[in-house]
Copies of this chain bind each other. A is one copy, B any other.
Amino acid sequence: MPALRRNRFERRRAETRQALVRAARQTLAESGGAGASVHAIAERADVGLGSFYNHFTGKPDLFDVAVADALEEYGQAVDERLHGVDDPAERLAGGVRLSVRMAESYPEIMQMLCHSQLGRICGGGGLAARAKRDVEEGMAAGRFTVVDPVIALTVLNGSLLALLELWCNQPGADSDQAAGIMAEMILHMLGLSPDEARDVARRALPATV
């Protein structure tokens, strides 16, 4: 069975690769990647140094993949939890509020985000793509009155990262409340009335699937 052979090989290969990505994610969460050697990462992944170059051309390559991997996991988790919420305003607010909740259940990803620079995060298909979709939907539905969607997204992305940064630096604060307030402010900024912004931002979040 040639398929099996390929599978067996590829499975082991994929395991090695994933171990490296996992180790890179941990490293990025701890130190932002600065000062971590390829050798140290491979050691952490329990993988020979030589194997590293079998999968990645170098450290930047691995880090790019690791960031994309974490963002994808993050995005899927948010999507799962917001499934069934149709109002784009409520989705947007829910995304902000859930990000902080997830900071507690996925601390590794959030610390990695805090150590990253803004451009690296917004590029891919993680948070930014989802927010873009929600803003556009909300505009099309007449729910948001926004002069320029690009600027609205810029505010959104920057604010969310700054909120996570705040969370990283003040672990004691009531982050649920903070995220709720931010969601409310953002909805108001996007055109909802103060009362409606507050109402939508305080709706119960869907139960975890």
Contacts and interface: CB of A to CB of B under 8 A. Distances in A.
Contacts of A186: 155, 189
Contact of A185 (B32, B152, B161, B162): B152
B152 A163 contact: no
Interface string A144-176: 001110111011011111110110110000000
Report whether over half of chain A's contact residues are helix, strand or loop; otherwise say mixed: helix
Contacts of A85: none
A49 interface: no
Contacts of A168: 119
B34 A162 contact: no
Interface residues of A, number: 36
Interface of A: 32, 34, 114-119, 122, 146-148, 150-152, 154-155, 157-163, 165-166, 168-169, 178, 181-182, 184-186, 188-189
User: Oligomeric state, in number of copies?
Assistant: 2
Among A147, A158, A188, find the residue whose CB has the most chain B CB atoms closer than 10 A.
Answer: A158
A172 to B, nearest CB: 13
A177 to B, nearest CB: 8
A37 to B, nearest CB: 13
Given A185-B147, A189-B188, A162 B114 contact: no
A118 to B, nearest CB: 5
B122 A165 contact: yes
Contacts of A122: 162, 165
A127 B148 CA distance: 24
B163 A159 contact: no
A152 B117 CA distance: 21
